A and B are shown apart, each in its own frame.
Chain A
Amino acid sequence: MDFLLIQALSGLASAASLFLVASGLSIIFGVTRIVNFAHGAFYMLGAYAAFTLTDRFAGPLGFWGGLLVASLAVAAVGALMEVVLLRRIYQAPELFQLLATFGVTLMVQDLVVLIWGPDDLMGPRAPGFTGAFSLFGRLVPTYDILLILLGPVVLGLLWLLFHRTRWGVLVRAATQDREMVSSLGVNQKWLFTSVFALGVFLAALGGALQIPRTTVTHYMDLSIIVEVFVVVVIGGLGSVTGAFVAAVLVSELNAFGILVLPKISMITVFLVMAVVLVVRPWGLFGKPDAAPRASAGISVRPWKPMSALERGGVALVVLLAALLPFVSGSYALSVGSEILVFVLFAASLHFMMTVGGLASFGHAAYFGLGAYGAAFAVTYFGVPMEAALVLGPVLGLVGAVLFGWFCVRLSGVYFAMLTLAFAQITWSIAFQWVEVTGGDNGILGIWPSAWASTPQGFYWLALGVVVVGVAVLRMLVFSPFGFGLRAARDSGLRAEAIGIDAKRTQWAAFVVAGTFAGIAGALFAFLKGSVFPETLAIPMSVDGLVMVLLGGIETVSGAVVGAVVYKALAIWLMSQTELSKLVLGGIIVLLVVAFPKGIVGFIEDWRHRRPPAPNGAGPEAMGIAKVEAAQ
């Protein structure tokens, strides 16, 4: 009994930092609707800044003052980011801000190594809280008690701030109805900035409070960001109380879960989230969005199939791509094959996000399932590549049928998070079921058949599959099914009122997207000759999102361009510099500011601003048609 109490206390202490960071994220999302991917980066910066300050100024004042000053300094950095970067892109399509904050995250990861060096840093312990006191004959660290108390205190302070100050009332009003607040004549800009700064402050404080417990590392952002997202979603977006309850719930379930299943902590949070979202789709303390915003692309320009000229342009590009093996070396070809694989992956996600209005944060699941499916087919059934390329995606399809059924019941960020949960669960199965999947060592020896084993052969294979795949997806967009899907996205109410089963239509789109991602994954397995859990992991899903957003979410074909640009850049930078994350992040941030509708979205805007050329487009317009049509 006493042991269980101690375990519960340990769980509560772990919940404290999680709560601080999560409440910041929740507040930011509630008001600005920004999914702040950089929140983990601010948590990490808080820890680094606190390390530097507490290292320099010893003593209790130096320590606690250092923590506070560090958090304030990072909050100022956050406010600066909001003013300089995010303000420019509030009008951009939903989720586009995610891309900007993702770029910032990449940059920070390299910057902290440049500033603080690569080694793990161990800060001082908290003066006055280095010991432990005895409870039922067991020792409980006093710092844990401090953290346990801090959670409710911060919760209470936030409550006071939101209920007893004019600023707080405005923030709550804005959380419920942004338009209303702007009509009240409140300076919305500064309200957003101050909310963002507060959220970042909480993240940085959460990070700073970690230094007496652990080392400060350049990868600590990754270890918390996803978990924090999950906590926010379990609690209900925008709800600080929800974040608190969810943080406690997750930490306690983890503390007790490991007693029964020592390997469970890898997926505890995701299991909890999946269960909560299936039972309570808006999180524990969340409220259904009164008027859910259309998740994607309400373009003013309705989509049109390509004109004859554009088709010619596409054919020309495909032909040129097919001629590549005659002029380039085998390295360029394998890079080309990899880019092609990601073109199909991004196109499948794009189909779901743009046409279906379903922004998935876990699309890698189906890519990875396709890859594992192909690997299983080769390893366990000994089938040749040709058959494995067909069988592999079936696994992606099955996964999409299963997970999609649950996911399409939700919408918006909740949908995104449930897809993430399923992807993480799939990942952890691949990671832990060592006997079948090889765990993190993966499955090796998945090499193509002889005819496709040369870089040229494989490139042509990939080109063929991808061109057909993208063509089929595009055909679906303009088919009756695509129309029904867009109808369900534009107005669920109207769609149902004209006989469309919106959920089933979206489910079907989910399955289509999952299957095509699976095809890309199967190709990827043969390209790399191996399959690893990383094909199912969050960075893969994020890569897909970045490609879609970069290309332009309101376009029919943006993902293709986004994938080519992003993947080519990423591969090239990886090979050229060890600061690839810094450069890539910087480029993403610049692209976001320069092309708030994505690259193709920008080109289309520009094209339509010009008066239509009399009788056939000019040469420039043709060039654009090619880029746009490169799918």
Chain B
Amino acid sequence: MKRMLGLAFAAVLMASAAARAEGEIKVGEINSYSALPGFTDPYRKGMELALKEINDAGGIKGKKLVIISKDDGGKPGEALTAANELVSRDGVVMIAGGFLSNVGLALSDFAKQKKVVYLASEPLTDAIVWSKGNDYTFRLRTSNYMQAAMLAEEAAKLPAKRWATIAPNYEFGQSFVAVFKDLLKKRRPDVEFVAEQWPPLNKIDAGPVLQAIDAAKPEAILNATFAGDLVKLVREGNTRGVFKDRAVVSYLTGEPEYLDPLKGETPEGWIVTGYPWYSINTPEHKAFLDAYQQLNKDYPRLGSIVGYSTVKSIAAVLNATDDHSTEGLVKAMKNLKVSTPFGEIVYRGADHQSTLGAFVGKTALKDGKGVMVDVVFKKGADYLPSEEEAAKMRPAN
């Protein structure tokens, strides 16, 4: 108890010492730095680049933009503690960040309760803008639904009728598979789903899982596993010939985070969403890539794009209005246009989802490394339900 008192006093002192420096605008940011460094490292580098660009160009109307980052350890409970610290102690004008969907949803509910703007950068769950959407939460990343729609469009072009699915056993995997099935069936009423496997995240027992899939004799496979699970799946599947003569549609696999570890074992011809940073020729992306590589001596991952665009979005909304109260920011955030390395995006007024698009292509091997080829950029807006429909999916507040 004594210690706690001491801690509390220290907190008071620190809070008063950090009394609002007039020349700064503070924004809070939370992510799973210690739990998911593979994503958050490039993400942070992207943020740092954007922040540098913004402050080098004079900041926000002459004030320096300061981002205070906190670690959530991959746990929603910790994220809430961090959010609380940012809002009530550091006095940030808004919060941003998040990778895991449950962390994003927790922060979104926090934003609603404490009436503070939250920009969800990465969480993919559809719930965050639809079934559990609220006035204070906006989401940057191309959502589960959007990417499922993009992949379903490609999948519908395949001759395959018998499909099997493999996805990690949690809400992300479950909702992605559900949406994909739904959208594919709309385009192709003749397909049937003959097998499904739900390995636990990070614990896939790839051999038995693949044998079970193989036994159902599907013509095509939908995969939504990633990271270590994906590598196990690919290795086992290649060796066992499960992917031979079968179409595979694989979610997120084209992201360098997940494609690069596969190296020379990258399966060829999988239809994937991802980030082929090496073959995007738009001027916006070129500028980003050059600046990024100059600063970091490393190539960007998709996380870098997310981090960069998050900070750009924050700067855009802070520049768009002088009213940095929550109401002012919410108002400015609706229909806000932001330019990103993937082109201009809009935060839709009706459901607060950005129109960030995604790249769809096929995997291929080049110089012993996995790459995406036949890349098409799909605009986010084309794969979202209309704003009227989306608005109906949100709870009435």
Give the CA-CA distance A335 to B236 in the complex, in Å.
47
Q: Which B215-231 residues have a C-beta within 8 angstroms of A?
A: 215, 227-228, 231
Q: Which B191-231 residues have a C-beta within 8 angstroms of A?
A: 196-200, 202-203, 205-209, 211-212, 214-215, 227-228, 231
Taking the complex as formed, is B174 at the interface, i.e. its CB lies under 8 A from any CB of chain A?
Answer: yes
Q: Which residues on A sit within 8 Å (CB–CB) of B1?
A: 317-318, 320-321, 564, 626-627, 630
Stretch from B104-112, B320-328, B381-389 forming part of the interface with A: B104-112
Pairwise interchain contact B261-A215, C-beta atoms closer than 8 A: yes
Pairwise interchain contact B5-A122, C-beta atoms closer than 8 A: no
Taking the complex as formed, is A144 at the interface, i.e. its CB lies under 8 A from any CB of chain B?
Answer: yes
Q: Which residues on B sit within 8 Å (CB–CB) of A255?
A: 205, 207-208, 211
Pairwise interchain contact A331-B84, C-beta atoms closer than 8 A: yes
Taking the complex as formed, is A94 at the interface, i.e. its CB lies under 8 A from any CB of chain B?
Answer: no
Q: Which B1-46 residues have a C-beta within 8 angstroms of A?
A: 1-5, 7-9, 11-12, 15, 33-35, 37-38, 40-41
Pairwise interchain contact B88-A440, C-beta atoms closer than 8 A: no
Question: How close is A347's CB to chain B, nearest CB, in angstroms?
Answer: 13
Taking the complex as formed, is A329 at the interface, i.e. its CB lies under 8 A from any CB of chain B?
Answer: yes
- With contacts A138-B214, A327-B9 taken as known, whether A580 is within 8 angstroms of B34 at the C-beta atoms is yes
Q: Which residues on A sit within 8 Å (CB–CB) of B198?
A: 262-263, 265
Give the CA-CA distance A286 to B132 in the complex, in Å.
50
Chain A interface, DSSP helix/strand/loop, else mixed: helix
Pairwise interchain contact B196-A262, C-beta atoms closer than 8 A: yes
Find B76's partner among A214, A219, A534 (CB 8 Å cutoff). A534
Pairwise interchain contact A329-B34, C-beta atoms closer than 8 A: no
Pairwise interchain contact A120-B231, C-beta atoms closer than 8 A: yes
Pairwise interchain contact B2-A328, C-beta atoms closer than 8 A: no
Q: Which residues on B sit within 8 Å (CB–CB) of A113?
A: 37
Q: Which A442-492 residues have a C-beta within 8 angstroms of B?
A: 442, 444-445, 447, 455
Q: Which residues on B sit within 8 Å (CB–CB) of A223?
A: 202-203
Question: How close is A377's CB to chain B, nearest CB, in angstroms?
Answer: 17
Q: Which residues on A sit within 8 Å (CB–CB) of B4?
A: 321, 324, 336, 339, 564, 568
Q: Which residues on B sit within 8 Å (CB–CB) of A266?
A: 169, 200, 203
| CB 8 Å contact bits of A388-415 with B (1 = contact, 0 = none) | 0000000000000000000000000000
| CB 8 Å contact bits of A570-597 with B (1 = contact, 0 = none) | 0110110011110000000000000000
Question: How close is A208's CB to chain B, nearest CB, in angstroms?
Answer: 16
| CB 8 Å contact bits of B228-268 with A (1 = contact, 0 = none) | 10011001100111000000000000000100111101000
Most chain B CB within 10 A, of A6, A259, A262, A438, is at A262
Number of interface residues of A (CB under 8 A): 95
Taking the complex as formed, is B82 at the interface, i.e. its CB lies under 8 A from any CB of chain A?
Answer: yes
Q: Which residues on B sit within 8 Å (CB–CB) of A535?
A: 77
Give the CA-CA distance A14 to B82 in the complex, in Å.
39
Stretch from A29-37, A67-75, A525-533 forming part of the interface with B: A525-533
Taking the complex as formed, is B70 at the interface, i.e. its CB lies under 8 A from any CB of chain A?
Answer: yes
Taking the complex as formed, is B48 at the interface, i.e. its CB lies under 8 A from any CB of chain A?
Answer: no
- With contacts A532-B106, A564-B1 taken as known, whether A581 is within 8 angstroms of B34 at the C-beta atoms is yes
Pairwise interchain contact A439-B174, C-beta atoms closer than 8 A: yes
Taking the complex as formed, is B71 at the interface, i.e. its CB lies under 8 A from any CB of chain A?
Answer: yes
Give the CA-CA distance A336 to B10 in the complex, in Å.
13
Q: Which A314-346 residues have a C-beta within 8 angstroms of B?
A: 317-318, 320-321, 324, 327-336, 338-339
Q: Which residues on B sit within 8 Å (CB–CB) of A298?
A: none
Taking the complex as formed, is B280 at the interface, i.e. its CB lies under 8 A from any CB of chain A?
Answer: no
- With contacts A215-B231, A434-B171 taken as known, whether A574 is within 8 angstroms of B73 at the C-beta atoms is yes
Question: How close is B99's CB to chain A, nearest CB, in angstroms?
Answer: 13
Give the CA-CA distance A227 to B261 in the complex, in Å.
26
Q: Which chain A residue lies CB-closest to B235?
A: A213
Pairwise interchain contact B174-A132, C-beta atoms closer than 8 A: no
Pairwise interchain contact B11-A331, C-beta atoms closer than 8 A: yes
Pairwise interchain contact B15-A447, C-beta atoms closer than 8 A: no
Pairwise interchain contact A251-B8, C-beta atoms closer than 8 A: no
**Leading 7 A-B pairs by shortest Cβ distance:** A118-B37, A10-B207, A331-B89, A255-B208, A332-B11, A444-B109, A332-B8
**B residues neighboring A (CB under 8 Å):** 1-5, 7-9, 11-12, 15, 33-35, 37-38, 40-41, 70-71, 73, 75-78, 80-82, 84-85, 88-89, 101-102, 105-106, 108-110, 112-113, 125, 127, 132, 169-172, 174, 196-200, 202-203, 205-209, 211-212, 214-215, 227-228, 231-232, 235-236, 239-241, 257, 260-263, 265
Enumerate 9 A-B pairs (CB-CB under 8 Å) in ascending A order.
A254-B208, A258-B212, A262-B212, A320-B1, A330-B88, A524-B77, A529-B113, A534-B75, A535-B77
